[in-house]
Amino acid sequence: MRPMDDADFDALLQGLQDPDRPWADGYPLDESLVAAAMVQERRRDSSPGRDVGPWTQYQLILADEGVVVGDFTFLERPGALDRVALITFSIAPQRRGNKYATEAVREIVAWAKGRSDIRGLRADTDLVNPASHQVLRSAGLSVVQDDGDRQVYELRWERPERISRTPVAR
């Protein structure tokens, strides 16, 4: 996975491939473009000097081919209260079934569990997309809400809060 920068967002939204990182047939998907536009807007709206950090969009690039086969996106950074981030992913249709999305989501879960500023991940998917449901379940997320045509998945982990230590008077 490679985090996208401003030039990557501009190129993606204009349909311009980087010759060093060609796109797989069928990439980008409409979902990729919507996610890119959302992240780019968040990047523009950031306070000066305040980077969006890792809460951005990443391209999934096959190391052996150098081809972009999909993307992974933090649609929302971790909330201030629950510290749960909203995620999404997409894979070019011709490249599906190779576990690229499962590998990416598992990698993000492992990475996120090592951070103190996030305590969970959330994703939602249409019921007509069984592959996405399988990816989310395989990465450890489970259904927390069923809206009939969509299900919301979530994985949370807890960390013990630091206890402030006050010196004991003797």
Instruction: Render each residue's pLDDT in the chain as its tens digit; 170 residues.
Output: 999 988 899 899 999 998 889 999 999 999 999 999 999 888 887 665 556 789 999 999 999 999 999 999 999 989 888 999 999 999 999 999 999 999 999 999 999 999 999 999 999 999 999 999 999 999 999 999 999 899 999 999 986 555 556 666 66
Residue (of 21, 30, 85) closest to 59 by Cα position: 21
Q: At what angle do helices 30-45 and 6-14 cross, to 10 degrees?
A: 140
- Which candidate, 122, 125, 63, 52, places its Cα nearest to that of 90? 125
Which residues touch 145 (CB under 8 Å, ≥6 apart)?
Answer: 151, 152
Strand order in the sheet with 2-3: 2-3, 57-61, 68-76, 84-91, 120-126, 150-156, 142-146
Neighbours of 66 (CB within 10 A): 11
Backbone angles phi, psi at 153, to 5 degrees: -110, 155
